[in-house]
Chain A
Amino acid sequence: MVDPGIARPGNDPDEQVLVTTVDEFLAWGKENSLFYLLFATACCGIELMQTGGPRYDVDRLGMIPRATPRQADLMIVAGTITHKMASRVRTLWEQMTEPRWVVSMGSCANSGGPFSKWSYSVLNGVDKYIPVDVYIPGCPPRPEALIDGVMALRERVRKYRTLGMRDRDPHVVQGGDCAFGSHPGRDGACGPSSAAPGALAMSRGDESPRTPQSGKPAQVNGGPA
């Protein structure tokens, strides 16, 4: 005998309806299916590989490696980026469909790491070429640190609004707290050419990205004058 006074879970039409906004629903979907680009250059690539391995198993977070940037949402820059490689990294990033996110994994991608001082060929930080959402310290970071970084990224992805701010850059929408202070938008570059002169002291002239440079540096909110 079923007591009509006790609601059975799943039978009540009211319980099968979730009210949400399209934006939140899409953000939930994006957050739980962060396909990442299999892009490993150096030592961190082995830790990235082992994070995808049986013990840490990032598949359970909906993270599946993709070989082509056109299918990827997330680029994990795992390893040293040299000057020769930097323009290729930019190309790969441009090939990814928006919205796209970047995690800089390890000291080399963050700042050049152990090669920043003496090396003549290493780019001191991948954020000179592409905007980075999350930086993970370590040389190389442990898989736990990588997963922690991904969880921090998921917080950002959850705040992403597809419809609400359709033609704005995702990094601006999320408070503009990325390395450049702010991004000028989709048409402009977010490289050193658009950053404030004092915000990023460039060590070499050849590090500017391939986007055309405007005559004078753009005004950037938040950056030091």
Chain B
Amino acid sequence: MSTDVTVETLGGERMKLNMGPHHPATHGVLRLMVETDGEIVAKAVPDHGFLHRSIEKIGECVEWPMFVPYTDRIDYVCAMNANLAYCVAVEKLLNTDPATAVQVPLRAECIRIIVAELNRISSHLVAVGAMSMDLGAYTPFLHGIAQRETVNDIFEKLCGQRLTYNFVTIGGVAFDLHKGAEAEITAFLDAFEKEMIRFNKLITANTIFRDRCAGVAAISAADAVAYGLVGPNLRGSGVDWDIRRDEPYGIYDRLAVRVPVGQGFAGRNGRVGDCYDRFVVRLLEINESVRLVREALKMLPAPVEKKTDATGGYQADVAKQLRKPPKGEVRVRTEAPRGEMGYVIVSDGSKTPYRVRCRTGSFTACSIFQKLMRGIFMADIVTVIGSFDIVVPEIDR
């Protein structure tokens, strides 16, 4: 919904409103200091730090493998991807010195792709479900959660946890796939694809929902790059960039990753980079992830008895290397559901990191809020926050 009235032409008395930190639509404890002129938002300034848990500082206190559970808590909606980002970074650090080089078994790499993409599916389901719930459509959220429960069941059998997995470890994964896991995952994907058709009929093709999101808070490709948007928020603006394809980590270079981008899907009223584009890009990424899981399942080598085996094992032996890792600094970025999750790790050669710096997608998404939320309707604030799929611990860490 666009409006001909602007903040400048109104010039009335402004009202200050606090949205959050306790607000059902801010996805946690984000606070927005909003100034409104009637129904039009004149200014909205995000206030962070209500969930600052000093995770980066904790990284300097704990040993290398002990930080993996904390990465779960940085982004709990997609904990597998968060684990993966840190582990890839530490492996890159170890590989800077041939003496401590680590070779992740191929089977472990395949399992990583499978769990990361499954987690991307379940994360995007929460994103699209929560956005439609914020806009008043409660049923799609329930459909999304029902599918997420099935993914949680698979992960629970894998590692015993439903949400914070601590599954991907430095040098591989914590456990091998359980017996019959491949069949379970395939069965889920088959059922899930049918379910997504119903889901799309219910909400994506819904005229009310589409018109509600069309044209709202459109971001141009130049702006998206300038403000450092990442992941689906960047691709929603039509920028063709995906770390999995353009700067591959793990064995993503052996998979054919197709990247969906925003094209103004809402049709007549829509613009490239509006809220509906970001919504649809997430749905298209779900389809892409389904395909990637199937591909990775095909590549999965047969398991062997020895767990450190370079092909059929699932966990390289890294205990010795982690006691005395090489000195230096590495930067790694990976593609999490909320965009690039990057790590800068500085090592002084001891068994604890010298510095762990995490860069996440939700934080950069907040930088554009002030620009976007000028001149939109009050009710559209919820649409914008929902379309960015922010997770507050990722902002505050």
Q: Do A and B bind each other?
A: yes
A residues lining the B interface (CB < 8 Å): 38-43, 45-47, 49-50, 53-55, 67, 79-80, 82, 84-85, 88, 92, 114-115, 118-122, 139-140, 142
- 0/1 per residue, B263-291, Cβ < 8 Å to A? 00000000000000000000000000000
Considering only CB atoms, which chain A residue lies closest to B20 in the complex? A88
Complex CA distance for A55 and B294, rounded to whole angstroms: 27
User: Contacting A53 at CB < 8 Å: which of B49, B57, B145?
Assistant: B145
User: Contacting A119 at CB < 8 Å: which of B58, B76, B148?
Assistant: B58
Interfacial chain B residues near A55, Cβ < 8 Å: 145-146, 149
Interfacial chain A residues near B76, Cβ < 8 Å: 42-43, 46
New contact pairs (9) apart from A45-B28, A49-B126, A118-B58, CB-CB < 8 Å: A46-B163, A50-B145, A54-B145, A88-B21, A114-B70, A120-B54, A139-B164, A140-B164, A142-B162
- Tell me whether B126 and A46 are in contact (CB under 8 A): yes
B residues lining the A interface (CB < 8 Å): 21-24, 28-29, 49-55, 57-58, 61-62, 69-70, 72-73, 76-77, 126, 142, 145-146, 148-149, 152, 162-164, 392-393
- Tell me whether A82 and B162 are in contact (CB under 8 A): no
Complex CA distance for A146 and B51, rounded to whole angstroms: 22
Given the contacts A50-B149, A118-B54, A43 and B70 also touching, CB distance less than 8 Å: no
- Tell me whether A42 and B393 are in contact (CB under 8 A): yes
Complex CA distance for A39 and B26, rounded to whole angstroms: 11
- CB A122 to nearest CB in B, in angstroms, measures 5
Given the contacts A43-B393, A85-B21, A88-B21, A118 and B57 also touching, CB distance less than 8 Å: yes
User: Contacting B163 at CB < 8 Å: which of A39, A41, A121, A140?
Assistant: A140
- CB B217 to nearest CB in A, in angstroms, measures 23
Interfacial chain B residues near A80, Cβ < 8 Å: 51, 53, 393
Complex CA distance for A46 and B141, rounded to whole angstroms: 13
- Tell me whether A53 and B52 are in contact (CB under 8 A): no
Interfacial chain A residues near B145, Cβ < 8 Å: 49-50, 53-55
- Tell me whether B54 and A84 are in contact (CB under 8 A): no
- Tell me whether B58 and A42 are in contact (CB under 8 A): no
- Tell me whether B162 and A121 are in contact (CB under 8 A): no
Given the contacts A55-B149, A88-B22, A118-B58, A47 and B50 also touching, CB distance less than 8 Å: no
- Tell me whether B24 and A43 are in contact (CB under 8 A): no
Interfacial chain B residues near A82, Cβ < 8 Å: 49-53
- CB A193 to nearest CB in B, in angstroms, measures 24
19 contacts between A and B (CB under 8 A): A41-B50, A42-B53, A43-B76, A43-B163, A46-B76, A46-B77, A53-B149, A55-B149, A80-B51, A80-B53, A82-B49, A82-B51, A82-B53, A114-B70, A118-B54, A120-B57, A122-B54, A139-B164, A142-B162
Interfacial chain A residues near B393, Cβ < 8 Å: 42-43, 80
Considering only CB atoms, which chain A residue lies closest to B75 in the complex? A43
Interfacial chain A residues near B51, Cβ < 8 Å: 41-42, 79-80, 82, 85
Complex CA distance for A43 and B146, rounded to whole angstroms: 18
Interfacial chain B residues near A85, Cβ < 8 Å: 21, 29, 50-51
Complex CA distance for A50 and B24, rounded to whole angstroms: 15
Given the contacts A46-B77, A50-B145, A118-B57, A84 and B164 also touching, CB distance less than 8 Å: no
